[in-house]
């Protein structure tokens, strides 16, 4: 019966996660296509360095090392989760112990030290957010939900690690008592300390071990299904987001095909722009006008605030926060996805990312210095969203600061940003003038 219940929980958890993950994928693919499949070898090296190697995280050594402990724990302790799943399906107990021998003892000891490290780091991270209240974790975009979301994840991690270590502690006591089904496999450097605090009753120890076993695995399945609603979906998307990073030099702007075709048509009367089945939009007004990579970036953002903490506009008190740009993009994209689920893909709620979520004041505060993209631990690109929205303001709404309008007029009339006709450009070199 317990095996059947476990299989039902496992199947339901996997099915619900797959449904939510497919919705996220659907939402990301609402974006316009761009080619990010070039240079695969360079892209894989980027993944190895930045996603696996955490090279940008450790630029801030203390939080970088602590994050690496959680990251390593997440990757390595999953081997233990695999064993738990096999045991749950087949009714075995520590199935790997019988054929891994002494190496299994090494693995379990490693898992315990990692679990303890994750527990300790999560406690420190909770204190940094709620006691020390670091400035990087505040801002207008950090409303009650983003703050609560971060705390929920840390608390869940603490509970899962506590259950794992307590389960091992009860298991150790049952092994020492020679109870059937609890074969003497594993080494428990942390749980052996906890085991001293547990009661001596065999029935109570079995209850504690089983309760923590079920709590641990159901907690993992619940955590898995919480991810698509949380900023911690970056656990899944950080690797593809890094793989599809922009490999071009920082600050190199692209020329949208819609704009290029218009310019070619003006310069060459024989050029005929390709016919588009949908109205051509210059720049981006809503999430569907952004590239799919920008939408993936929005889902990949972990709201760490490194981008905003390095933004010179934000430092000087301006309204711009690169973190808010990605968070607003994700919120709007989620809203659009829910509208599609309820009303169909052609439904319009008369709202847009520009104006309803992100204001022109925020966009024009950006100096395009790329400090945000340089600071991001997984190469996300808030600047791409900012530039696309600014293009729409200029090319579709004809709304830009007066200083830029003067420059635009000079380029149009003089072929250069300055207020000099082409005939007067070399006057500065005339020694008689």
Task: Please provide the DSSP assignment of 201-264 as one string.
Answer: -HHHHHHHHHHHHHHHHHHHHHHHHHGGGSGGGHHHHHHHHHHT---SPTT-----HHHHHHHH
| pLDDT over threshold 90, residue 261 | no
User: 3-state secondary structure string, 26-81?
Assistant: HHHCCCECCCCCCCHHHHHHHHHHHHHCCCCHHHCHHHHHHHHHHHHHHHHCHHHH
Question: Domain segments of the chain: what residues?
Answer: 13-36+280-406, 38-243
Rounded CA gap, 303 and 323, in Å? 6
- Residue 250 near residue 373, CB atoms below 8 Å: yes
Report CA-CA distances (Å) from 21 to 15, 28, 373.
10, 11, 26
* The 3-state secondary structure of 148-169, one letter per residue: HHHHHHHHHHHHHHHHHHHHHH
For the domain spanning 13-36+280-406, the CATH number is: 1.10.1060
Q: Kindly state the tokens that stand for 403.
A: 């200083």
Q: Outline where 319-399 has alpha helix (H).
A: 322-343, 353-356, 360-364, 371-375, 382-395
The 8-class DSSP code of residue 316 comes to: T
Q: Output the pTM of the full model.
A: 0.89
SS3 (DSSP) at 22? helix
Whether the per-residue pLDDT at 413 is higher than 90: the answer is no
Report the share of the chain in percent with pLDDT over 70: 99
pLDDT band at 376 (very low <50, low <70, confident <90, very high): very high
**pLDDT classification of 80: cutoffs 50, 70, 90:** confident
DSSP letters of 110-156? HHHHHHHHHHHHHHHHHHHHHTS--GGG-STT--HHHHHHHHHHHHH
**HSE toward the beta carbon, residue 14, CA cutoff 13 A:** 7
Q: What pLDDT was estimated at residue 429? A: 77
Residue 87 has pLDDT above 70, yes or no: yes
Tell me the mean pLDDT in the region 368-372: 94
Compute the CA torsion angle 234, 235, 237, 242 (nearest 10 deg). 90
Phi, psi of 313 (to 5 degrees): -65, -45
d(CA 27, CA 21): 10
State residue 24's pLDDT score.
Answer: 96
Q: Are 308 and 323 in contact (CB under 8 A)?
A: yes
Whether 114 and 72 have beta carbons less than 8 Å apart is answered as yes
Across the strands, what pairs with 291?
Answer: 32
Q: What is the mean pLDDT of residues 366-389?
A: 94
Backbone angles phi and psi of 291, in degrees to 5: -70, 155
State residue 267's pLDDT score. 80
The pLDDT score that the predictor gives to residue 262 is: 78
More confident residue, 249 or 14: 14
Contact 81, 220 (CB under 8 A): yes
Per-residue model confidence (pLDDT) at position 431: 62
Structure-model confidence comparison of residues 366 and 73, the more confident one: 366
Number of other CB atoms surrounding residue 339 within 10 Å: 15
Q: What rounded mean pLDDT belongs to the chain?
A: 91
Q: Quick one: CA torsion of 177, 183, 189, 193, rounded to 10 degrees?
A: -30
Q: How many angstroms separate the CA atoms of 325 and 31, rounded?
A: 16
pLDDT of residue 252: 81
Question: Which class for 34: exposed (0-12), middle (13-18), buried (19 or more C-beta within 10 A)?
Answer: middle
Around Cβ 200, how many Cβ atoms within 10 Å? 8
Residue 190: predicted pLDDT: 95
């Amino acid at each position: 019966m317990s095996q059947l219940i476990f299989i039902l929980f496992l199947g339901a958890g996997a099915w619900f996660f797959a449904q939510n993950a497919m919705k996220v994928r659907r939402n990301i693919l609402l974006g316009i296509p761009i080619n990010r499949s070039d240079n695969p070898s360079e892209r894989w090296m980027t993944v190895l360095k930045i996603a696996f190697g955490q090279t940008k995280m450790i630029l801030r050594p203390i939080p970088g090392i602590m994050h690496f402990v959680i990251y390593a724990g997440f990757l390595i302790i999953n081997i233990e989760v695999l064993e738990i799943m096999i045991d749950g399906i087949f009714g075995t107990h520590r199935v790997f112990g019988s054929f891994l021998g002494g190496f299994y003892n090494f693995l379990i000891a490693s898992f315990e030290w990692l679990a303890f490290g994750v527990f300790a780091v999560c406690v420190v991270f909770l204190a940094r957010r709620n006691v020390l209240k670091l400035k990087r974790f505040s801002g207008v975009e950090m409303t009650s939900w983003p703050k609560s979301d971060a705390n929920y994840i840390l608390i869940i991690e603490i509970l899962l690690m506590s259950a794992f270590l307590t389960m091992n502690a009860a298991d150790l006591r049952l092994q020492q008592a020679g109870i059937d089904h609890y074969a003497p496999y594993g080494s428990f450097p942390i749980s052996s300390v906890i085991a001293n605090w547990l009661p001596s009753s065999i029935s109570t120890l079995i209850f504690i071990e089983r309760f923590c076993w079920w709590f641990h695995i159901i907690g993992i399945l619940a955590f898995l299904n919480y991810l698509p609603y949380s900023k911690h979906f970056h656990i899944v998307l950080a690797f593809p987001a890094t793989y599809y990073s922009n490999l071009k030099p920082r600050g190199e702007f692209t020329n949208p095909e819609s704009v290029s075709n218009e310019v070619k048509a003006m310069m060459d009367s024989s050029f005929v722009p390709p016919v588009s089945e949908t109205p051509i939009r210059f720049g981006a007004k809503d999430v569907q006008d952004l590239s799919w990579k920008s939408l993936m970036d929005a889902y990949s953002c972990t709201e760490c605030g490194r981008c905003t903490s390095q933004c010179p506009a934000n430092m000087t008190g301006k309204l711009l926060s690169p973190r808010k740009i990605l968070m607003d993009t994700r919120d709007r994209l989620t809203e659009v996805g829910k509208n599609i689920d309820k009303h169909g893909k052609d439904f319009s709620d008369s709202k847009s990312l520009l104006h309803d979520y992100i204001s022109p004041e925020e966009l024009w505060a950006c100096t395009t210095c790329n400090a945000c993209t340089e600071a991001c631990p997984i190469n996300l690109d808030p600047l791409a969203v900012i530039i696309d929205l600014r293009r729409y303001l200029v090319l579709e709404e004809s709304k830009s600061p007066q200083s830029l309008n003067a420059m635009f007029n000079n380029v149009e009339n003089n072929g250069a940003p300055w207020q000099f006709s082409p005939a007067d450009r070399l006057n500065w070199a005339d020694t008689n003038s």
